[in-house]
Chain A
Amino acid sequence: MSKVKIGLEIHAQLNTNSKLFCGCKTKSATPNTATCEVCLGMPGSKPVLNKKALDFAVMLSLALNCKVAKASRFDRKTYFYPDLPKNYQITQYHSPIAEDGHVFVQSKKIKIRRIQLEEDPGSITYPQHIDISNYALVDYNRSGYPLCEIVTDPDFSSSKEVKQFLKLIVSIVKHLKVYTSDRSFRVDTNVSIGRNPRVEIKNVGSIKDVVSAIEYEVFRQKQEIENGQRIKQETRRFNGSATVSMRGKETEEEYGYIIDPDLPVIVISDAQLKKIVKAMPELPSQRMQRMMQQYKINKHQAIAIVSEKELADFYEKVAKDTDAQLAASWISTQLLKVLNYNNLFFSETDLDVQHFVPFLNLIRKSKISDRAADLLLRELVLKPQHPGTLADKLKLLTLTDAKLLELTVSVLKKHKKQTEQYKRGDSKIIAFLIGQVIKESKGRADAKKVKQEIVKYLA
């Protein structure tokens, strides 16, 4: 089978207080109240660039190792749609803010083709399903929200790579504070197989859906090819379980791009660039290095922890209150495993320091075996609560010495033959006996301690 090629266009709403070209606030509000003559495209109104949005875009460009243009411009992309007040979108086509960057996802280099600023259109709601609604409602509150578009080369070959990349991008934009979870994050995905035409899946609103959409689309295209069908160049949308055709692919030509004459050339001086670099918050890669030194954890653990900003924040809080290395070990392996298994991001759980520190302390004080702790964590992630109480309820806590002795004695009595063997000097058989005790304890006995008890009892 030919190679799968995937490219992305990410649209992240920037975390500015006001819109890209006017002073309207970017807080959620009653429909059509956060608007003015500019974002409603009223005759005579003119756009004025929000400097904060520009700074944010430049910051992101630098974080993604792009070349920031000394001079860039806005263009008009003309198409008629009710959510687009001017019937053209102010975007960047001829000369974007930045070009030619890259990031590494697990040692694979992903090229960033360009980064551009543009305005979001308004939003449309339908009273029923789009196909049967006889009217639509337009809300222009979103009109003019600043979007930063990140365009990659088609460097991905699987949904797994895309997922890791998108997680990294989200981690970066959150670290830079140019984006927060309450803003929208939409992805257009181009998928092609071998030399077949590419298919674009438009406007998918979450990382998980992007992953599902790609998985579906790759499967669909492979099937079509196997069945001898030709792949059409088209635009599709993802309905939550499958991609469905929207329209034949419009070529760029039809937008009739021209320079937006209402907005002058954006000039970014070296001095401005320096100022932005200086004001730049810690990036995930920098944070990783710092954490390795500060908490004496290894690179593998640090990479796993910074993959989500919320997770890294969580780790650093936990590390302050308990054994930092133990925390790193548990977070980078078992916790991520549980999250992955449940298809959850850390930010989607309510797991908190108040749960996790006592959890680690149970392990530290040998009140729980590793295996039992693993079981406990699975429960905690889904339903965070006090770990001690839960462990007790689930009978996961390590047995007290008296109970352990009692259990050991009963196991030895039950397995007389093996006990005799041991007594005769067959020291290897002790492993069997230890295993039996642990089994009987349902994982609540610690192997080392059981061994001590057996040796002592039979001495």
Chain B
Amino acid sequence: MTYLITKVKVSNGIPLVVKDSICTKGILTTAGSKILKGFVPTYDATAVRLAKKAGCKVVGKATQDEFGFGTFSTNCAFGVPKNPHDLSRSCGGSSGGVAGYVAASKSDVFGLGESTGGSISCPASFCGVVGLTPTYGLVSRYGLIDYASSLDRIGPITQTVEDAAWLLSKIARYDKQDSTSIKKSAEDYTLYCGKSIKGLKIGVPKEYMDLATKNVRDTVTLAINQLEKLGAKIVPISLKYTDLALPAYYIIALSEASTNLAKFCGMRYGLQDKLDGNFNTYFSKVRSEGFGEEAKRRILLGTFARMAGFQDKYYIKALKIRTLVIEDFQKTFKKVDVIAAPTMPIVAPKFSEIEKLSPLDQYKIDVLTVPVSLAGLPQLSVPAGFVGKMPVGLHLIANYLDEGKIIQVGDAFEQS
């Protein structure tokens, strides 16, 4: 099965599979891109270092959409992972290799994924595993190959909520090497497992339910009913900037990505070519060869959006919408403890269906995960049930640093 780009032999320890965009000392790290061919970091990402300290052993680097650019893990330079529940379907993206590997594994295995616009939740939902995306800044980004620095988050992809809580407890530390890291003392998130959810207020956003296909909506509705049975109070809510969040997300993410990817030019690491012509010619040659089609599309879109003539219209406006989205969530969390919704509007699609989607259609499928990504709120996708043989994810969202609450609800649901 093509879940891993690099397989590492280890004898003992807790097996950990790591998304390829996260640097691992001495192990090839490509972020799923040909342009980083041969790049072996001299350092571990902080999250990897901390996981190792907790007893984890890196067993492999998982394939992914190039730099995280995709919803289906079909934009991969080193292998497209297939959904263990149906090999003709996608694992979701962009941490598809990690989720697929964790889902296919017969034994205990932990995964480290990375999300920019939903890249942990989406594959977790499609593969029927748990994906926990913590508050922005809770887990250090040091050593993560950036997609969009203001959105990127590292988080666990595991078989159970308790596993995710355990791994998060080990990797959530203040790190002075990441200026956006949150100064917060360590917390044992497993303590939130096995707790009653009686009296917790769970908001269900109408907009999110409406955007899901009927099968998915029905499955998630059953899950929410189950939460009510467990004692939670279900509150209908409205998140009115949902439709604006999608374009704002893509503008911000791609503007940042187009600068983050500027460093890849075949000069100091990664793909190289024969040196001739001036540096401009050489950089263009390496970048044309090394980047895949989607990476090129996103670099072009991002570069366009941040040009001075268009900046106010796109980049600056998107930043304003981001503030509105954040305020919308903040208002909501005055009324409810947790938001529950479908993780993805659909179940994992067939590769043959994905081929027919335009890039814009593909971007639209992120509609449920991008608002929460823009806000940087903690989110947890737990398996909610099936449509046919394909899993459906229940998305739980909480306020900043309220990881405990979504773990509490997710674990209670999983155990019921």
Contacts and interface: CB of A to CB of B under 8 A. Distances in A.
Interface of A: 37, 40-49, 76, 78, 80-82, 85-88, 251-264
Chain B binding site: helix, strand, loop or mixed by DSSP?
A: loop
Contact of A256 (B146, B150, B308): B308
Given A82-B267, A88-B262, A46 B306 contact: no
Contacts of B177: 46, 48
A47 B180 CA distance: 10
Q: Give the top 5 A-B pairs by smallest Cβ distance, nearest first.
A: A253-B308, A261-B150, A87-B262, A261-B149, A256-B306
Contacts of B43: 37, 44
A43 B39 contact: yes
A79 to B, nearest CB: 9
5 contacts: A44-B41, A44-B146, A85-B268, A252-B308, A255-B308
A229 to B, nearest CB: 30
B141 interface: yes
- Main secondary structure, interface of A, reads loop
Contacts of B255: 258
Given A85-B268, A258-B259, A260-B149, 12 more contacts: A41-B268, A42-B269, A43-B36, A43-B264, A44-B146, A46-B149, A46-B177, A87-B263, A253-B309, A254-B307, A256-B259, A263-B180
B36 A80 contact: no
B102 to A, nearest CB: 23
A235 B145 CA distance: 36
B263 A46 contact: no
Nearest to A251: B308
Contacts of A81: 279
Contacts of B258: 78, 256
Nearest to B267: A82
Nearest to A22: B177
A261 B315 CA distance: 13
B308 A44 contact: no
B142 interface: yes
B306 to A, nearest CB: 4
Contact of B279 (A40, A49, A78, A82): A82
A48 B176 contact: yes
A82 B303 CA distance: 20
Contacts of A85: 263, 268
A258 B267 CA distance: 24
B268 A253 contact: no
Given A80-B279, A256-B308, A43 B259 contact: no
B45 A42 contact: no
Contact of B179 (A37, A255, A262): A262
Nearest to A80: B283
Contacts of B264: 43
Interface string B107-146: 0000000000000000000000000000000000111111
B202 to A, nearest CB: 32
Given A44-B23, A76-B259, A86-B263, A262 B149 contact: yes
A86 B262 contact: yes
A43 to B, nearest CB: 4
B265 A80 contact: yes
B307 A256 contact: yes
A235 B300 CA distance: 28
Contacts of B256: 258, 261
A44 B143 contact: yes
Given A46-B179, A76-B259, A88-B262, A258 B306 contact: yes
A47 B149 CA distance: 12
B243 interface: no
B42 interface: yes
Given A42-B268, A258-B255, A37 B279 contact: no
B381 to A, nearest CB: 25
B370 to A, nearest CB: 16
B133 to A, nearest CB: 17
A363 B269 CA distance: 68
Contact of A46 (B22, B141, B262, B265): B141
Interface string B246-267: 0000000001101100111101
